[in-house]
Chain A
Amino acid sequence: MPGLDIGTSFIVKAEESKKGVNYTEFRDAFYRLKPNSVIAAKMMEKSLSSVAHFKDSDGSFVLVGYDAIEKAVERHESALRPMHRGIISKREPEARKVLKFIFSQLLGQGSGEKLVYTVPAQPVDQSGEDFDISFHEDVIKKDLGDLGWQAESLGEAEAICYSELENDDYTGVAISAGSGMQNICIMSAGDSVLSFSSTKSGDYVDHMAAQSVNLPDSEVQMIKENTKFKLGDQHDSQVITALDIYYKRLINYTVKQISHQLSQIDNIPKFSKPLPVVIAGGTSLVDGYLEEFEKALRVQELPFAIGEIRYANDRIHAVARGCLIASSL
């Protein structure tokens, strides 16, 4: 009974094994190469022998995963994403096909076993018509069902609560800082009191930084992932300086959204203890994220006291682990 974290940037499968938990990761990016002639197609096929790809029915080669990003960067372009801001991308007509192919490779054929997969919460900064979570949720359920899995959805931040709030009696705040979205869940004794998301996260940082230094998003993303830097430090690189600025803007935006959403709710439980806040997700991997987040959150007016603010034990895999735990219920 695996758990599946379907993120904008990575798809992570969590499966229990005798040794512990096996996490299988795949980068959900793709890049299409269309050969001009039969000879070019043969040559291309040879050159791609060591690259993760599949051959589409129209004869084009679809590179998937990290290789897609590398190839796109090589050609001064950006790789395509089957997911955009946490849901199946409307911009890419082939998005669903690519995703389903990745699922088939990651999960294989199921035989009716339960599988818990993540869905984002409804965003507070998009209208319902523009951003349809329900359709995404049902499409994924159907595609996983076609592959033989009995799929059930779970909120992304809720999964972090299940994974990380055991010692807090499943009461606290979880924030999933993914690529496409920030998902937030406030949980009381295992029940979600409030879940919402905002559509600015890591991709927003990459995109805005790329715009400001006039580089493709994929290139900035690669620089970000391959350079060690800490938020708030002085940086020589223009790209890193731009990233630093937009990370801080993102953090401020997120905490203001949390404060605003909580101010709109009347029936927030009266928590007897300060609530712990757990942060997970790839966007939180940058050095100094927690410190900047804490600085910004502590000055907000909230209807409850905030206790310890901490990272999840495993920031990349916490969501998938939560799904795995939920799949056993």
Chain B
Amino acid sequence: MLSYALIVFFFSSSAIIMIMARRTKSVSFSDSDITRLATSISKAVVQAIEPLTKRGPVIDHVSSSPSALDIEDKVVAMSIDIEGLEGNIQEQVETIIREDAGLQKSKSKLAALKGKK
């Protein structure tokens, strides 16, 4: 950011000095000189701000995730204490009982499938 500001400041000052000099007729600059200067300024500005505006390619999800160790550290550091909280939500809890004859069959079939692998 600082380098960007310095470059802009340097070129802006140069441009102002050249234009002022031309106006006071103390130094003679042609139109092509001014155009060249303007082109240089634009190029320098673009180069300076490029890293600020350009986002890198989208990294795949796995590699961009924080490492397991980082996550573990973060999680440990963020312990949540709910000991002091008073209250009860049981009146809002709805329990539905569903008969499910297929549950045991599903469990054993999946267990057998996983066991083969």
Contact = CB atoms under 8 A, between A and B. Distances in A.
Given A20-B97, A22-B96, A122 B87 contact: no
A102 B109 contact: no
Contact of A134 (B71, B80, B111, B117): B71
Interface of A: 16-17, 19-27, 50, 52-57, 62, 64-67, 96-97, 100-102, 104-106, 122, 127-129, 132-135, 138-139, 142-143, 146, 162-163, 166, 169-170, 189-191, 314, 317, 321, 324-326, 328-329
A96 B71 CA distance: 16
B-side interface size class: 35 or more
A105 B110 contact: no
A19 B103 CA distance: 12
Contacts of B59: 127-128
B95 interface: yes
A66 B96 contact: no
Contact of A328 (B79, B82, B105, B107): B107
A139 B77 CA distance: 11
Contacts, number: 147
B114 A329 contact: yes
In the A-B complex, the 6 residue pairs with the closest CB atoms: A54-B87, A128-B64, A52-B92, A65-B92, A20-B99, A128-B61
Interface in B100-117: 100, 102-103, 105-107, 109-111, 113-114, 117
A24 B82 contact: no
B51 interface: no
Contacts of A314: 98
B78 interface: yes
Nearest to A57: B84
A52 B88 contact: yes
Contact of B106 (A96, A139, A163): A163
A64 B97 contact: no
Contacts of A104: 82
